[in-house]
Amino acid sequence: MKAGFVNIFGKPNAGKSTLLNALLGEKLAIVSSKVQTTRHRIKGFLTEPGEYQVIFSDTPGIIEPKYKLHERMMQAVKSALEDADLALLLADINDSLEENNELFTALKLKVPAIVVLNKADKASKGRIAEAETFYAKQPYAKKVLVISALKSQQIDLLKQTIIGLLPENDPFYSEDDLTDLPTKFFVGEMVREKIYELLGDEIPYHATVMVNEFKEKETLIKIQADIVVQRESQKAILIGAKGSMIKQIGSLARTDIEQFLQQKVFLELHIKVRPKWRDNDLHLKEYGYF
Ligand code: GDP
Ligand code: K
Ligand code: MG
C-alpha cells in the first residue's frame, strides 16, 4: 500500500491547522485568527486499510524566535522538515507571492512539494490565475493546487494527488489510530483555543494549559486543568467579573471536548500564575514543550 509522511508548512495564518482538520475530516488541530496558535507538531493519520496511510503533520508557522517557547516551536518545524516524504507548502492565495516564495525556497526541501494555494473562497479569478502561474514556475513545485480549507473545496483532489506521490510502504501506525498524541493533549488544546477566541491581543501568548486529571467515571469523564499565565493581572482578566470569563471558557471548551470524546464531560479549570514560564526550561518541559 501507499504510506508516508506529509508535512504542512507555511506562514502563520495560512490555514495549516484548518487544512489538517479538513484532510482528516476531524477537528484535531485548534484554529484561530491569531498568529502562533499552534505550538506543537501535531500528527494526524488518514488510513484506508490496504490502500493508503498518510501521516500528516501540522506545524507552527515559521517565525523568528523571540523567547524560549518560540525556539521550541521552531524545533518542531525543523524536525518536520527532516522526515517528510512529501511537503505541502501552504500559502494564503492573497498573500505576497514573493514573500512566500522566499520562505519556501529557504526551506531547501529535499523532498517533492505540492504548493497549495488556500482561501480560494476569498480570491478573485484573476488573482487565482496569477498565483497559479507564479508558483508553477518555481523549482520546488511538483504541482500547484487551489483549495479552500475552510469550505472543504478541492480537498478530495488534494488527497488523491498526495496519495499518488507517496511511496509503497507498510503502514506505520495502527489502522484505528487518528493521532500519536494523548487525548489529554487535545483536551488542553481545546481550552487554549477558547482563550485565543475570547481574549484580546496579549493574554493568549502568555497562557498555556495543563491537564492534571482525566478520569473516566461511570457516566462521564472528569477533567481538571490549570490555565497557567505569567502575571496576577492576567489571572484577574481570565477570571473576569464575578468569574464570568473563566466560566465562558469552561463552557465553550466543554462543548468541544464532549464532541471530540463523544462523552459527557465535567471540566474544572483553575488559574495559576507562573512568572516567566515561557523562558523557563523546567516549566516548558512540565507543560509539554520539549
Ligand atoms: P495556521 O496558523 O496556518 O494554522 O492557520 P489557521 O488554520 O489557524 O487559520 C487561520 C485563519 O484563517 C482562521 O481564522 C481560519 O478560519 C482562516 N482560514 C483558514 N482556511 C481558510 C479558507 O480556506 N478560507 C478562508 N476564508 N479562511 C480560512
Ligand atoms: K492561526
Ligand atoms: Mg496552526
Q: What is the ipTM of this complex?
A: 0.99
Same domain, 62 and 140: yes
Q: How far is the CA of 219 from the centre of ligand 2 (A)?
A: 35
Same domain, 160 and 221: no
Residue 78 has pLDDT above 90, yes or no: no
**Is 62 a known ligand-binding residue?**
yes
Residue 64 has pLDDT above 80, yes or no: no
Same domain, 155 and 229: no
Same domain, 187 and 150: no
Cβ–Cβ under 8 Å, residues 198 and 216: no
Closest listed ligand to the CA of 94: 1
**Is 136 a known ligand-binding residue?**
no
Cβ–Cβ under 8 Å, residues 225 and 191: yes
Closest listed ligand to the CA of 60: 3
Instruction: Give the span between the Cα atoms of 171 and 151, in whole angstroms.
Output: 30
Q: How far is the CA of 13 from the centre of ligand 3 (A)?
A: 7
pLDDT > 90 in the chain, percent: 87
Mean pLDDT (the chain) is 95
- Which protein residue's CA is at the shortest distance from atom 8 of ligand 1? 31
pLDDT of amino acid 65 = 84
State whether the beta carbon of 63 lies less than 6 angstroms from ligand 1: no
> Is residue 277 exposed (0-12), middle (13-18) or buried (19+ Cβ within 10 Å)?
buried
Determine which of 19-33, 69-83, 187-201, 217-231 has the lowest per-residue pLDDT on average.
69-83
State whether the beta carbon of 179 lies less than 6 angstroms from ligand 1: no
Residue at which a domain ends, from 137, 165, 193: 165
196, amino acid identity: Y
Instruction: Give the span between the Cα atoms of 271 and 237, in whole angstroms.
Output: 11
State whether the beta carbon of 154 lies less than 6 angstroms from ligand 1: no
- pTM for the model: 0.93
Residues 6+ apart with CB under 8 A from 270: 224, 225, 226, 227
Same domain, 26 and 141: yes
State whether the beta carbon of 112 lies less than 6 angstroms from ligand 1: no
Same domain, 124 and 196: no
Q: Which among 208, 179, 205, 206 is positioned nearest to 191, based on CA atoms?
A: 208
Ligand 1 pocket test, candidate residues 24, 28, 31, most atoms within 8 A of CB = 31
Cβ–Cβ under 8 Å, residues 239 and 246: yes
> Positive or negative, the Cα torsion across 83, 89, 92, 97?
positive
Same domain, 127 and 239: no
State whether the beta carbon of 122 lies less than 6 angstroms from ligand 1: yes
Cβ–Cβ under 8 Å, residues 228 and 269: no
Same domain, 190 and 118: no
Domain of 127? 2-165
pLDDT of amino acid 152 = 98
Q: Which among 246, 240, 197 is positioned nearest to 226, based on CA atoms?
A: 246
Q: Which among 159, 176, 115, 162 is positioned nearest to 140, based on CA atoms?
A: 115
Instruction: Give the span between the Cα atoms of 73 and 62, in whole angstroms.
Output: 9
Same domain, 150 and 191: no
Please give the number of the atom of ligand 1 that sits closest to the Cα of 122.
26
3-state secondary structure of 198: helix
Based on the structure, what is the number of domains in the chain? 2
CATH number at residue 137: 3.40.50.300
Helices (H), the chain: 16-24, 68-82, 97-106, 125-136, 155-165, 183-198, 203-206, 232-239, 244-261, 281-286
Summarize pLDDT for 175-213 with one digit per residue, the tens.
999 999 999 999 999 999 999 999 988 999 999 999 999
CATH number at residue 208: 3.30.300.20
